[in-house]
Structure 1
Amino acid sequence: MSEKLKVSTDDLHTAGTGLRTVATELEGLDKLMDAYDRRTVGHQLLHERLQDFSDGWDDNRKKMIEEIQGLGKLAKEAGKAYTEVDIALYDALVGKGKQK
C-alpha cells in the first residue's frame, strides 16, 4: 500500500511567522495592563481584582509565549528541512551532482 506525504512548506513558513507574531503581541500585553490604574478603572476593588488577574496572567502568559515561540521555530525549521529533502530527492532522481 502506497501513501503519499504532502507538505506545504509555504504553510509551515507562514505558520512559523504567524506564531512568532502572536508571541510578540502577547508580550505587548504587559504594557497595556500597566496603563490601567484605580482612576482608570473607577473602583478600588475592581482595580485590585484586575491586578490579581494580571499578576496570575503574567506567569501563564510567559509560559504560553515560550511555547508559541518554540512552535513557530519548529514550523519554520520543518519547512526548511522538507525543502532540503525535496531538493536532495529531486537531485538524486535526475542524477544531478553525480560525477561521471
Structure 2
Amino acid sequence: GVDLDTLRPLPTIQGFSTPGGYSAQAVRPIALRHVMEISRSLKGQATVSGMGGVDCAADAIQFMLLGANTVQLCTAPMLQGFGMIHELVDGL
C-alpha cells in the first residue's frame, strides 16, 4: 500500500520504504496451504520452514500443525519491533 500522508510505499521502516509484494497477513492462507502440501509430499524427508503472515504465536502454531519444522518472520518484527519475537516464543 501507500501511506496517503507521506505518499510513500508501505511499510516504512526508519524512513525507508519500497513497493512490496504480496506479504504479511494477506499471504498467510496461501502460505499455510503450501506448507501443508509440501509437508505431505515430502513425508518428513526434508525440513519445511513456514513463513508468510506470522504475527504471533497462534500464527506460528498453525504453520507447525500443518507440517512446518521451523517458522520465519519478516514483516512482523519490522513493524512491531524485535520484542515481538520474545512474545511469540513465550506463546508457544
Q: For the superposition of Structure 1 and Structure 2, which TM-score range results when normalised by the shorter chain?
A: 0.3 to 0.5
TM-score by length of 2: 0.34
More helix by share: 1
Q: Tell me the TM-score normalised to structure 1 length.
A: 0.32
> Per chain length, whose mean CA-contact separation is higher, i.e. which structure has more relative contact order (CA < 8 Å, sep 6+)?
1
- Structure with higher Rg: it is 1
